[in-house]
Structure 1
Amino acid sequence: MVTAVKKKALIVGAVGILALGIGAYLYGTLTNSDDTYIDPFDQTLVALGKNVYANNCAACHGAKLEGQPDWRIRQANGRLPAPPHDETGHTWHHPDAVLIDIIKNGLVPGVTAPPGYVSDMPAYGNILTDHDIAAVLAYIKSSWPKQALAAQKEITLQPPQ
C-alpha cells in the first residue's frame, strides 16, 4: 500500500521530470541556430547593411571591410586594432549568434573575449535594431568567398552542445 508521503513524493518527482523535459525542449527551441543564420544572398538585407555598416562600422573596420593596419599587433595601450571583416579576418570563424552578441554588447571578457580582455569595440545594442545588426552581418558575409561562407554557415547551423 502506498502511503500519502510516498504518493506525494511520486507526484513531486513526476512534476520535476516533466518540468525538466519542458525546460530542455524550450531551451532547444529558443537556441535553435537555424533562427540565427543570416542570409548573405538577401539583397534587400545586404543593401541596408551596406548603409548601416558605412554609418557605424567603417570608421574602425574600414570602408572596404579591410580593418585597421597591423590588426594583429597590440597598440601601445595594449588593445588590438579593429580586425578586417573580409575573408582575411576571423569574422567568418564565428557563428552568427556570437557575431550578433559582439555587435550588441561589444567584446565581453569571459563571454565573447578572453577574461581580462579590453577592447575598443562599442556595444550597439541601444543604437542599432536587431534588423540593422542582421543587415550589417548580411552585408559583411556577402563579400566572403564561397569557402568562407560555407564554413561559417556550417559553424552557425551546428546544434548547441
Structure 2
Amino acid sequence: MSKSLRNTVWTGLIVGALAFAIYVGWRYADNASTATASAEIIAQGRQVYADQCAACHGADLEGQPDWRSLLPSGRLPAPPHDESGHTWHHADDVLFRIIKEGTATIVGGDYESDMPGFADVLSDAEIRAVLAYIKSTWPERERNYQEGVSQIN
C-alpha cells in the first residue's frame, strides 16, 4: 500500500471516529440535559406550560376527563402528563416532535388530533423546558423508565 493511500485510509478512519464520537456526545448531552434540567429551566417550562398547555392538559397535568374515551368529534381528549398518563412511555425525541409538529403529523395516516404543532409559537428551547418541567413532576420510576426509552432511540 502506498504511503498516500495509507494516509487517506487513516484520515478517513480518524474523521469517521471523530464524527461518531461527536454524534454520540451530542445525543448523550441532549438526553442528559433534559434528564437533569436546572431549576431555572424547570421554572421556565412551568411558565410555558401554564401559558400554552394547561388550558387543555390541566393546570396540574391531569388531562381532560375520560381522556381515553373518544369525544363526539371522534378525537381523544387531551391526555394527562402526570404519572397517570402515557407521556412517560415516549422517548424525548417523540415528545419533542409531538409538541413541535402536532400529534397527527407524528402518528400519520388519517389520525386526527386537537393537539396542534407549536413550531410557530415555541422555540426549541421552550419545548425542551416544558418537557423538563413535565418530567420533573414524575415519580422516580416513571422518570427512570422514560430516560431508558429515550436512550434506546
Taking structure 2 as the reference length, the TM-score comes to 0.80
* Pairing 1:118–2:112 present: yes
Deviations 1:97-148 (A, max 9, x none): 1111010000135xx2152110000110111011111110011001100000
* Pairing 1:57–2:53 present: yes
Partner of 2:64: 68
Selected match of 1:130 from 99, 124, 128: 124
In 1, the alpha carbon distance for the partners of 2:123 and 2:24 equals: 19
Partner of 1:84: 80
Partner of 1:11: none
Higher relative contact order (CA 8 A, sep 6+): 1
Aligned 8 A contact 1:33 1:156 in 2: no
What percent identity do the matched residue pairs reach?
46
Aligned 8 A contact 1:36 1:96 in 2: no
Match of 1:89, SS state, is coil
**CA offset at residue 91 of structure 1?**
0.4
Partner of 1:6: none
Taking structure 1 as the reference length, the TM-score comes to 0.77
Partner of 1:156: 150
Partner of 1:140: 134
Aligned 8 A contact 2:35 2:147 in 1: no
In 1, the alpha carbon distance for the partners of 2:42 and 2:128 equals: 9
Match of 2:103, SS state, is coil
**CA offset at residue 41 of structure 1?**
4.5
In 1, the alpha carbon distance for the partners of 2:53 and 2:41 equals: 16
Corresponding pairs, count: 142
Q: Which runs of 4+ in 1 moved over 4 A?
A: none
In structure 2, list runs of 5 or more residues that go unmatched: 1-11
RMSD, aligned α-carbons: 2.8
